Amino acid sequence: MERDFDPLLRRSQWVLLMVHELHKLGYQRLWFVPGMSPSGMHWRCSVTHVGNIKRTHGAMMCDFDDAAHYATG
């Protein structure tokens, strides 16, 4: 399999890997919330605690300011 060395893709993968490693260390109450920019051109994600996740929708936050954010844009 050919490796992709696109810097934006690699940084995005590092964010996912970070959450994976934190889960392995016992931080399962940290959640990853994926998303896209309004234009659809850039990937966004937030890492927040489980208490900031809406009970009716597992991929939406209650409070945007109570999270760490990353975007490829």
Predicted pLDDT of residue 11: 85
pTM summary value: 0.77
29 vs 66: CA distance, rounded Å: 14
Quote the number of domains for the chain: 1
* Domain presence at residue 12: yes
Is there a domain that residue 2 lies in?
no
Q: Which domain holds residue 11?
A: 7-71
Q: What is the pLDDT of residue 33?
A: 92
- Residues 1-60: tens digit of each pLDDT: 556 678 878 888 888 899 999 999 999 999 989 999 999 998 899 999 999 999 898 789
Q: What pLDDT is recorded for position 23?
A: 95
**Is 1 part of a structural domain of the chain?**
no
Specify whether the backbone of 40 is left (phi greater than 0), alpha (psi in -120 to 50) or beta: left
Q: Is residue 46 part of a domain?
A: yes
Q: What is the pLDDT of residue 28?
A: 93
Q: What's the mean pLDDT in 64-68?
A: 92
**Is 11 part of any domain?**
yes
